[in-house]
A and B are shown apart, each in its own frame.
Chain A
Amino acid sequence: MRGAPGPLFEWLVPRTLRESNTLLGAAVFGLVFYGVLALTLLGWAGAGVRGALRDLLSVVHGEALVANGIVLLLWSPSRLAQRLAREREQDTLPALRLTGLGGLSMALGFLGSALVLPAVLLVVTSPVILAGAGGRGGPAAPLRAYAVLLLLAVVYHLVAGVVGLASKKAQNAGGTTVFVVLVLLGLGAAFRVPGLEVLGVLGPWGAALASSGAEQFDIPILGVSVAGEPVQLVTLALLAAVLLRALSDRLADERAAVLVGAPAAAGLAALGAALAALTYEPFHADPSRAVFLRLLALGLAAAPLALEAPARFVDLARGAARRDPDDPPFPDERLDLRRLLPGPLLLLGGALLLGLQLPSGASWGLRTGVAAAVLVTTWTFAALLLQAARLLSRDRGSPVIVVVLALAALWCAPLLSSAGLRNLAFDERLTELPRLLNPAYALHLACTTRPVGGHDPLALATACAAVHALAALGAGWLVRQGQRRVTELVGSLVVLPADAYDAPGTLERRCPRGHLHAAVWATCPHC
């Protein structure tokens, strides 16, 4: 295959195409699909509505779209997830890595082979797809719908790949992928809720309804309503690029990643922040709710970056252990403050972009500034706490889970305690205070213009930012403690034949000449 994107693609795609399972799958699918189509035609002919040919073509277009959608978005991604999980389980990925294949080459190989059968099924249904051009959506309807569907399929496959590689067991990977895909489809369906049109980019619904002529699919961009499909295509292309990076990184296994790795998380956060800020509709008499939702989306978009930005203990130890001048630490082996910069920068940029679209009255400039401060301090606190956890525990996954649960408890428990205080008929001024710990509530306060419990809401939101800033200082101190542990460990990583009976860092005895040694030795083995 000339011009194939890598040897794995070149090997897998033709083989998958030649496999008997592919041909069998295509035959069964074709039989079922055309059987259903025949029933539709019979029903249409029997109903005596031959005049409405455009309606019929719209219906068959919808049937083909649903059939291909199920294969492309649900079945095939779950198979890819299972395959990658199995490769990981059987330890064949390291063998591929050892061939010198890059992560991108591997990702494209697996992605290509996963898309072979769906592509064959598209060919099988192609006459019906073309017939859809005569439906109510117009001649370009199939093109628009399938362009979205194909790009969406690529994105879903890439998500499935990441899920598959993160799954510990192959048998769980398929089910987890189906769940994730259903969540994405559900989010995509929320495009019909006013203000949430932008979520339509995550699912096929908007494009599908528009292509069958049933409904308009528009997304507001900087206050102007534009056709949804182009926006969706651009967004999906960017999303695919980011996720391809994530999958490549995970396949190459050369970077530490909680789920998608720092570069991909930065990409996802940037994309999410841009969508949250750019799709604000400035038509509201009271923009509080719309602004709050967008600020919340901004914070959620930056959350994965906080998970991925912290450095791991082992990487820092590795970097610190590189003492030769010709062996400088790799970038992921340094605890550099620049690792934590993208989060706040994205949050500030998104808030600024949003603030520029807000009305000049009602102190919206100040309010956006306070909301940005809440977002930045909260993100920094969370990122530093995660960094401290990753330095104080050498485990890969559990410190992250513990911190996420702790943060969830820290932010949600005050809401309960506030409700409890209110039930106990405490003074309203008092009941508001615990809720200050919840950044989402603080964002709400920053966006509302009404006094809350007798307090100035802006002052309460500012207090929330201040509390998180102080907490971030505390987390920073924990990070310093973690750094000291790294230094201590690295200090003990020297070749000392006599320390064979204890782990470095746990040596207990020190001789008068300063040599550390294990307690098993009665006298210093070095002296």
Chain B
Amino acid sequence: MTAIRASNLWRFYDGAPAVRGLDLAVERGSAYGFIGPNGAGKSTTLRMLATLDRPDAGRVWLEGRDVQRDLRGARRRLGFMPDPFALYDELTVEDHLLLFAQTYGLPPSARRRAVDRAIELTRTQEVRARRCGALSKGWRQRALLARTLVHDPPVLLLDEPASGLDPAARIEFREVVRALRELGKAIVVSSHILTELSDFCDSVGIIQQGRMLVSGRIDDILRRLDPNEQVQLDLPGDAAPARALLAAHPEVLEVRDGLGAPPGTARLLAVLRGRATPEVRAALVRALVEGGCAPCGVSATREGLEDLFLRVSAGSRGQDVRGASALRQVLDGDGGADREGAPPAGAAR
């Protein structure tokens, strides 16, 4: 069942569009990652989904009901964690949660239980008696997540929930989101850090300049955008001569530094123009050996989501990046003019 759906959302600020014709659908029990650079329109979109901003055009349905037609009902069925944090600094975490349990209309007998449950889910037991104003950023974020969960909403909208967290806290946060997804909640998480989302999201949407560039299941996106295959080469000693040799090879599009090389070696990623067939791999190794840079390890990989995100966002800015034109085809193939029809006469200038 679709928990939250948006159709053709538009939002203008001072006459300039912040979100342009955005579509979105998230099923129950799934997590949707909303990725884009700063200022792409992620927070604006989430605020519209959360009913805090009214879209200038377009509609949002929460569990099949138009949110603007049933504002209060919609608000009680969703949990929104904004960025930055809005907490009552003078209250303790527990009191803060109790206040919201009360204002959400939970009966007195259920309030304490709801607060305990939210605290347990977000692992904030050790700060429950501390004032929100005295909490560190990580704890504030968790307290805010606890507030978002206190009324047990079926839909969660989390705006940059892990920004500013240390690595350990990020890992814990991912676990919390996974647990929530398993509880059957529909989750929309925004971030400008893709790796943060690719671990626990089923689907992602890449937004830039207010417009959804690509949206769908991660596997589908990878298939549709036809990621480049690449050969990973581990080289003993200095990698500079090998880099030059690879860059000059006709099969190689681009050479990048790879991460995670074994000690004493350097790792290079040769992004290929075509497939990483055994013949191509052998040709690369031969070229390196002939150039006096024999590799100590060779394997074939594909571009990851992060690489694709960079490619997609570069293509949308009209930069001359390989794949930009293919991306445009993909985007046009997604719907666009065919789906919505030609622009109306009223749009003429």
Contacts and interface: CB of A to CB of B under 8 A. Distances in A.
Interface of A: 7-8, 10-11, 90-92, 94-102, 254, 314, 317-318, 321, 324, 327, 330, 394-395, 487-488, 490-501, 503-505, 507-508, 510, 513-516, 520, 525-526
Interface stretch (B11-19, B183-191, B230-238, B269-277): B11-19
Given A497-B332, A498-B332, A501-B318, A515 B343 contact: yes
B254 interface: no
Contacts of B341: 494
A394 B12 CA distance: 9
Interface of B: 8, 10, 12, 14-17, 20-21, 23, 50-52, 54-59, 66, 68, 71-73, 75-76, 78, 80, 82, 84, 86-88, 99-100, 102-105, 147, 151, 208-209, 211, 213, 316, 318, 328, 331-332, 334-337, 339-349
A499 B336 CA distance: 10
Contact of B80 (A96, A98, A494, A514): A98
A522 to B, nearest CB: 11
B66 A327 contact: yes
A498 B51 contact: no
B84 A91 contact: yes
A318 B56 contact: yes
Given A317-B56, A507-B347, A496 B337 contact: yes
B57 A496 contact: no
B342 A497 contact: no
Given A317-B57, A318-B56, A321-B10, 19 more contacts: A95-B147, A96-B103, A99-B75, A99-B105, A100-B105, A324-B59, A394-B14, A490-B346, A491-B344, A495-B23, A496-B336, A497-B336, A500-B209, A503-B17, A507-B347, A516-B347, A516-B348, A526-B332, A526-B337
Nearest to B150: A99
Contacts of A516: 343, 347-349
Contact of A492 (B8, B50, B66, B343): B343
B75 A100 contact: yes
A395 B13 CA distance: 9
A40 B336 CA distance: 83
26 contacts: A7-B105, A11-B99, A11-B103, A99-B100, A99-B103, A100-B73, A314-B12, A314-B56, A321-B58, A327-B59, A330-B68, A488-B346, A491-B344, A491-B346, A496-B337, A497-B331, A497-B336, A498-B332, A500-B208, A500-B209, A504-B347, A510-B348, A516-B343, A516-B348, A520-B318, A526-B336
B14 A395 contact: yes
Given A98-B52, A493-B21, A507 B332 contact: no
B93 to A, nearest CB: 14
Nearest to B144: A95
B86 A494 contact: no
Given A493-B10, A504-B17, A513-B342, A101 B336 contact: no
A321 B56 contact: yes
Contacts of B78: 98
B61 to A, nearest CB: 11
B335 A495 contact: yes
Contacts of A513: 342
B298 to A, nearest CB: 40
B contacts with A: majority SS: mixed
A497 B10 CA distance: 13
Contacts of A501: 209, 318
A497 B211 CA distance: 8
Nearest to B345: A491
A399 to B, nearest CB: 12
Given A496-B336, A500-B211, A97 B82 contact: no
Nearest to A96: B103
Contacts of A491: 343-348
Nearest to A395: B14
Given A394-B14, A494-B340, A496-B343, A7 B102 contact: yes
A8 B102 CA distance: 8
A92 B86 contact: yes
B5 to A, nearest CB: 14
Nearest to B212: A497
A97 B75 contact: yes
Contacts of A526: 332, 336-337, 342
A516 B336 CA distance: 13
Contacts of B82: 91, 94-95
B222 to A, nearest CB: 20
Max chain B CB contacts within 10 Å: which of A395, A497, A499? Answer: A497
A7 B101 CA distance: 10
Contacts of A494: 8, 21, 340-341, 343-344, 347
B103 A101 contact: yes
A494 B20 CA distance: 9
Contact of B88 (A92, A330, A503): A92
Interface centre among B68, B342, B343, B346 (most CB of A within 10 A): B343
A508 B59 CA distance: 28
A398 to B, nearest CB: 11
Contacts of B103: 7-8, 11, 96, 99, 101
A323 to B, nearest CB: 9
Contacts of A490: 57, 346
Nearest to A326: B66
A493 B9 CA distance: 9
Residue among B10, B71, B72 with most chain A CB within 10 A: B10
Contacts of A493: 8, 10, 21, 56-57
Contacts of A102: 72
B15 A394 contact: yes
Contacts of B102: 7, 10-11
B44 to A, nearest CB: 14
B20 A504 contact: yes
Contact of B20 (A8, A11, A500): A500
B57 A318 contact: yes
Contacts of A94: 52, 82, 86
A500 B345 CA distance: 20
A504 B12 CA distance: 10
A501 B51 CA distance: 27
B349 A498 contact: no
A498 B343 contact: no
Give the one of B57, B78, B84, B213 with max A CB within 10 A. B57
A496 B340 contact: yes
A8 B103 CA distance: 6
A10 B105 CA distance: 11
Contacts of B100: 95, 99
A192 B76 CA distance: 53
A7 B107 CA distance: 11
Nearest to A106: B103
A488 B346 CA distance: 5
A491 B341 CA distance: 12
> Taking each of A327, A490, A496, which has the highest tally of chain B beta carbons within 10 Å of its own beta carbon?
A496
